[in-house]
Amino acid sequence: MMTKEDLLKIYQENEYVLIKFGASWCGPCKAMEPVLKEVAEARPDVKVIELDVDSEEEMVQMFRVRSVPTIFWIKEGVTLDKYVGGASKEQLLSFMK
């Protein structure tokens, strides 16, 4: 499980972070897995994290996640934007500008 301290360390080590909240029972979440790998390859400057809402309750509450998939675009620990729903590689890369 990820703690707030773990997340703080990630923020300190990475200027850009993309966090996807999903679930094993969520079809669109599973469809996003290869898309996130492609995004990570296209943007090596971004730390991509995938969190499961069923096992990361503290993070779900902290980010106020209400549906899955939900993706947060973060720079230096500050949330710049949030995207709810499935997305293509192109949509995510555009979202991350």
Q: How many CB atoms are located within 10 Å of the residue 59 CB?
A: 21
2, 10, 23, 26: which one is catalytic? 26
Evaluate whether 39 touches 46 at the Cβ level (below 8 Å). yes
Q: Is 29 part of the annotated catalytic residue set?
A: yes
Distance between CA atoms of residues 85 and 11, nearest Å: 24
7, 18, 19, 29: which one is catalytic? 29
Q: Is 56 part of the annotated catalytic residue set?
A: no
Q: Which active-site residues does the annotation give?
A: 26, 29
